[in-house]
Amino acid sequence: MSLELKNIRLDFSGLKWAVRDISFSVANGEVFVLAGGIGSGKSSILRAIAGLEQIASGDILLNNNSILNTPIKEKNIFLMQENLALFKAKTVFKNLAHSLKIKKLPKEAIETQVLEVAKKVPLELLLNKKIKHLSPLEKIKVNLARLSFRQIDLILIDDPFIFLNEQDAKTALDLIKNLASEYNCPLVYTCLDPNHAVHLNSKTAIIKEGKILQLDTIQNIIKAPTNNFVKAYINSQTALGNPSGEICTADRAV
């Protein structure tokens, strides 16, 4: 699978600007980052790809086929947002088993598959814990583990790591580094902090007011920002002084 956005435009009532002329492509096994401040439009772009926002013009292609009129349930898209969509009062085991129960698999088969995935992540020691008692990083691991039970053509991750501490953020980013190649599909990740893009070492689009100001590898953006906004944005988040890929403690106010 490959993902391509062609001149996407979104119109929002009451806003002076909207998402305008967004074009980029993401190959199989590639991670692509949309980076920008709060309200820049990056989450709206992600929601448009998922089919949760209606686009005014343009096209979205998955494996060279337009998906604009494809029902959401038929798109095989995994969208991970900040709320993680977990059953907080249920155990880790029941959360992982939920989709398998919907498929009406035998109890023994469900238990076998859940245990296999839990061992891989790993989540074995957490299976009987309720989601509400897990740490933020543990919840993210449970959410990502559910990918194993689905056919996935595209992964979209909308900055659920923003409130993690530095070490947990690095761990979570390392988890998604391997997702695109593991499932051999495109992965689009949005972030407020460009240090996340640095850690992922990925192709990145810097977004402001619904427009892409610069699209390149994050290292090239750091070395040669094309305008003052991009330069100030990178500097304010401390990525410029951190080309090694390590996440810095940064002022998240943009």
Distances (CA, A) of 204 to 101, 176, 221, 225: 38, 15, 8, 12
Q: Is residue 190 part of a domain?
A: yes
Contact 247, 199 (CB under 8 A): yes
What single letter denotes the amino acid at residue 143? N
Task: List, for residues 17-68, the tens digit of each pLDDT value.
Answer: 789 999 999 999 999 999 999 889 999 999 999 999 999 999 999 999 999 9
Q: Looking at residues 213-224, what average pLDDT do you find? A: 96
Domain end marker among 98, 122, 150: 150
Query: What gap in Å lies between CA 65 and CA 48, rounded to an integer?
Result: 16
65 sits in the region (left: phi over 0; alpha: psi -120 to 50; else beta) called: beta
Q: Look at residue 159 and tell me if it is in a domain.
A: yes
- SS3 at position 201: coil
Q: How far apart are CA 41 and CA 20, in angstroms?
A: 9
pLDDT at 131: 95
Instruction: Report CA-CA distances (Å) from 99 to 102, 152, 239.
Output: 5, 14, 39
Q: What is the mean pLDDT of residues 234-241?
A: 58
In terms of domains, do 200 and 176 share one?
A: yes
Are residues 185 and 144 part of one domain?
no
What is the phi/psi pair of residue 157, to 5°?
-125, 115
Task: Assess whether 210 and 178 both reside in one domain.
Answer: yes
If one counts the domains in the chain, the total is 2
Arithmetic mean of pLDDT, 121-144 = 94
Give the domain extent around 177. 1-76+155-254
Q: Which one, of 229, 159, 241, 231, lies nearest residue 200 by Cα?
A: 159
Q: What is the C-alpha separation between 102 and 118, in angstroms, rounded?
A: 19
Question: Any idea what DSSP says for residue 247?
Answer: P
Q: Are residues 254 and 168 in the same domain?
A: yes
Assign 243 a pLDDT band (cuts: 50, 70, 90).
Answer: very low
Nearest to 28 by CA among 130, 154, 142, 214: 154
pLDDT of residue 162: 83
The residue from 102, 121, 150 where one domain ends is 150
Please check whether residues 138 and 159 belong to one and the same domain.
no
pLDDT one-digit tens code per residue, 155-165: 999 988 888 89
Do both 55 and 122 map to the same domain?
no
pLDDT surpasses 80 at 242: no
Phi-psi region of 179 (alpha: psi -120 to 50; beta: other; left: phi over 0): alpha
Instruction: Report CA-CA distances (Å) from 248 to 34, 104, 131, 196.
Output: 19, 46, 29, 9
Nearest to 161 by CA among 134, 192, 205, 200: 192
pLDDT value of residue 244: 41
Enter the tokens of residue 183. 């499932």
pLDDT-derived band of residue 240, with 50, 70 and 90 as boundaries? very low
> Last residue of a domain, which of 150, 177, 201?
150
207 and 119 housed in the same domain: no
Q: What does the pLDDT look like over 98-121, one tens digit per residue?
A: 989 999 999 999 999 999 999 988
Q: Do the domain assignments include residue 215?
A: yes
In this structure, the answer to whether residues 173 and 102 fall within a common structural domain is: no
Is 201 a domain residue?
yes
Say if 192 falls within a structural domain.
yes
pTM, rounded to two decimals: 0.87
- At 16 the pLDDT is 72
pLDDT bin (cut points 50, 70, 90) of residue 237 is: low
